[in-house]
Amino acid sequence: MATSLEVRGVSLRFGGVRALTDVSFAIREGELFSIIGPNGAGKTSIVNCISGRYKPTEGQLFYQGRDITGLTPNARASLGIGRTFQNLALFHHMSVLDNIMVGRHHLLKNNFLTGSLYWLTGARKEELEHRRKVEEIIDFLDLQSVRKATAGTLSYGLRKRVELARAMALEPRLILLDEPMAGMNFEEKEDMARYIVDLNEEFGMTVVMIEHDMGVVMDISHRVMVLDFGKKIAEGDPGTVLADPHVRRAYLGEEDEVLVDPDDASPAQESAA
């Protein structure tokens, strides 16, 4: 399978803070690849390096074999790299439909949001075509009933789904999802997990997902990478990663061995031994 994305030796510093240290990995076309790790491990930072929001202090990024390290976020979006944000970034006063439409703005030749020659330049015809694409996504994500609603009035779970719709509207080949299920209840998570699997399998999008819910990560990921203090500590199929002692220690908070001073050992610990 062809490589979608290669991250080569990426480090990122903010003053004295080392957000990422020498992180390397590769993602294959069609893969559903998850990034996990404790708070502050560098997960959002690596996604920001991929989307172009952050420029790595060191290292390089390749997308479909092409060095994208120096490209702007817009240029990367045009190459087919889409994303959602950890903290919702919707236009709250706009309708669901218009929020999703915004996701296509880099595909618009005539910018209908600012174009004053709307009726003269063929912008209207172009807009109708875009609307058709947007309707497809609305159908796929079951957003029909709220398509005209103002985004800010929707439940949190629905807003996260609208944000996914907007990212999909760019028709990305590679989609970066930063905690798509954060703050959701069990049912909303189940729905979101299904949409992510479907957009991977049916739309053929390569997925990079940051997610804290280990159950979902282990269920739907093809491969998982673990970051801890800005460093990659493990990578592999979900089962292998979950069983990795480094991961259990760093991420799941398990101790390798219980260090107990023999003099302090309580009767309970003795009987358990």
Ligand X SMILES: Nc1ncnc2c1ncn2[C@@H]1O[C@H](COP(=O)(O)OP(=O)(O)OP(=O)(O)O)[C@@H](O)[C@H]1O
Which of residues 43 and 232 has its CB atom nearest to Mg ion in the complex? 43
To the nearest 10 degrees (0 to 180), the angle between helices 156-169 and 186-201 is 10
CB of 40 to ligand X, least distance (A): 4
**Considering only residues 12-71, where is the footprint of ligand X by CB under 6 A?**
14, 17, 19, 37, 39-45
CB of 179 to Mg ion, least distance (A): 7
The site that binds ligand X (CB under 6 A) totals a number of residues, namely 12
Interaction partner, residue 137 (ligand X, Mg ion, none; CB < 5-8 Å by kind)? none
Q: Is 21 in the site for Mg ion (CB under 5 A)?
A: no
Q: Is 44 in the site for Mg ion (CB under 5 A)?
A: yes
Position with the least CB separation from Mg ion: 44
Interaction partner, residue 45 (Mg ion, ligand X, none; CB < 5-8 Å by kind)? ligand X
Which of residues 127 and 228 has its CB atom nearest to ligand X in the complex? 228
Q: Is 87 in the site for ligand X (CB under 6 A)?
A: no
Q: Is 196 in the site for ligand X (CB under 6 A)?
A: no
Residue ranges binding ligand X (CB under 6 A): 14, 17, 19, 37, 39-45, 86
